[in-house]
Amino acid sequence: MALEEDQTQVKSADELLKEFDSEADKRILTGIVGRLVSALAICFTLFQLYTSFFGVLDAHLQRAIHLSFGMCLIFLLYPTRRSWSRHKIHPFDVLLAIIGAAVPMYVVVTYNELVLRAGTVTDLDFFIGTVGLTLVIEGCRRVVGKPMVTVALVFIAYAFAGPYLPDTVAHRGVSLSDLVAHLYFTTEGVFGIPLGVSSTFIFLFILFGAYLESTGLGKFFIDIANALAGWASGGPAKVTVLASGMMGTISGSSVANVVGVGSFTIPMMKKLGYNKEFAGGVEAAGSTGGQIMPPIMGAAAFLMAEFMGVPYLDVVKAAVIPAILYYTGVWISVHLEAKRKGLKGIPRNELPNLKEVFLKRGHLALPLIAILALLVEGQTPTKAALWGIVIAILASSLSKATRMKPVEIIEGLEKGAKGVLGVLIACATAGIIIGVVTKTGVGLKLAGGLIELAGGLLLPAMFFTMITSLILGMGVPTTANYVITSTIAAPALIALGIPIIAAHMFVFYFGIIADITPPVALAAYAASGISGGNPLMTGVVAAKLAIAAFIVPYIFVYAPVLLMVNATPAEVISAAISAIAGMWGLGIAMIGYWYADVNPVMRVVAFIGGIMLIDPGLLTDVIGIAILVGIYFIQRRKASVKNNLTM
């Protein structure tokens, strides 16, 4: 009976993933066709591994072959229509798969001629480029969805409409042949930096994540979280926060994280006494934060390092304190809600033993430790990921229970190739957007317009940037969202004098938390599908729990010490401690409880105190501490009076 229930839960989890994550809604192929597609995916991975070990090809060639494999797999695995069979490939999709593979290979075959022609396109080039761009957009529609396609088409339309637009955004216009040449036969369009990062770092880290999942690391994380926090007040909710944060180190998708962890934790939270919306909100908030959790973070983090021209480790370092604050805020809110409702934890005898968990499966964490050590030593992300893959396979063999069989190692190659398709096509489509921006110069115009709209003031400029990122994030994946906002909005923030890493982290953060920001909050909708709660209210709860993500970016723009920028270790430690204390004030404000219920006025005061502590500085820290200490004594007195009356 228990087995049947588990199978039902797995089935419903798969259905949820397909409903809210279009990337997961792919064909399931068997027989000789399935084996052929699997072989193609394995060849894709072997190509990536070969070039990573023996040297990446010339940028245009590497990216073209990467796109060729990706396009072929996309049309084979994702049907033209959702109503088409998921168990056999339609002949039309086979045709598109062949064309999708052939068109990028045209760049490889004629590479020397294209270089000699230096931007001049023949009629055949124009035809191939037009077909290539069309197929990239169609592939994006299938895997990523219509919102990103709409954004790309708007930018393409802008390229042609330039002479007819108002002066603030007008340009002289671009001919169709010039646009096709720029977008498909240079490294500033489809084959630009985003696809370059996808064809190197991102692919390897997704492959690394596929192997970590195969070793059972996810179950290891959940058991650790249960052992550490399952017994505390509101234990299952705290388990959710811990497990989701740890899972975020190997999962780049908020929705996948929600479904993977939430299938276990949301029923536990409901059983303990949390209502449906709160249980779903906790999972959505915890899972979304995984994309900002070092050391791996989301795919956009690799793009950030490339766009800024800094080592990936610098991005990881900058993300550490904000990630700690994010999860501290969610943890505190969960704790206060549990205290308010009088929720207990799970009996210790029903929980895993921490020592036993580490003795049985602690070796599974070795690959993550190794990657972090390699990055700290100065190794490139490529080398770190390669060694991480090797160590993951070797580490799994240290125990019979976790050892991967040869067939599982081969399946890992297939999973890695299929797992990269969403990022690959999003990066290719983002390249179209960037190409239009560089061809028309609209980036500078929009950045200037943003500064003018903000009256030259930093705070309004940040607010408008935040709104832009949240709107784009309602339907555009984090990777593409970051590409667009970093191209258009980040330059405006940099022009106003803030450090480049603070500007990029700002847009990165708001692109991520769009997944839990109503009205379109995909992570919250997925969580509500498991909890049975109201999707909109689940999103509202998740946004409240993740309040740090809405506030901390503003703080680190004004005080880059939170990003470890131009700061001594003492300054970083001091800022981190005070900011963590400040999260307590924000938690009180969001939940409305400490030792007793907190009235609306006191909640506002607690919010102010929390902000003061998050903002580094002696004066703000003193004010914030004074406010929280005052609230503490008021709350203790109120709780004491209540207890005496009860007695």
Question: Model confidence over 218-268: pLDDT tens digits?
Answer: 788 888 888 888 888 878 888 888 888 777 666 666 777 787 778 878 888
In a domain? residue 427: no
- The per-residue pLDDT for 9 is 43
- Helices and strands counted in the chain (H then E): 32, 0
The answer to whether residue 70 sits within a structural domain is yes
Q: Give CA–CA dist 129/176, Å, rounded.
A: 11
Q: Looking at 156, 185, 214, which one is the last position of a domain?
A: 185
pLDDT of residue 21: 63
| Whether the Cβ atoms of residue 461 and residue 449 lie closer than 8 Å to each other | no
- In this prediction, residue 250 carries a pLDDT of 67
Q: Among the three residues 185, 217, 251, which one is the final residue of a domain in this structure? A: 185
CB count in 10 Å sphere of residue 476: 29
Domain stop point among 135, 151, 185: 185
CB 244 within 8 A of CB 257: yes
Residue 619 lies in a domain: yes
Say what the pLDDT of residue 410 is. Answer: 94
Sequence-distant contacts of 159-162: CB under 8 A, at least 24 apart: 159/436, 159/439, 159/440, 162/440
Helix, strand, or coil here: 250? coil
Q: Which residues of the chain have pLDDT under 50?
A: 1-11
Asked whether residue 321 is domain-assigned, the answer is no
Residue 629 inside a domain? The answer is yes
pLDDT of residue 170: 87
User: Looking at residue 400, what is its pLDDT?
Assistant: 86
Please give the tally of structural domains in the chain: 2
| Contact indicator for 250, 217 with CB cutoff of 8 Å | yes
The pLDDT assigned to 11 comes to 41
Residue 333 lies in a domain: no
Domain that holds residue 611: 577-647
91 within some domain: yes
Report how far Cα 627 is from the mean position of its chain's Cα atoms. 35
Residue 407 lies in a domain: no
Assess contact for 184 and 373: CB atoms under 8 A. no
Per the omega criterion (within 30 degrees of 0), is the bond before 91 cis?
Answer: no
Contact 465, 485 (CB under 8 A): yes
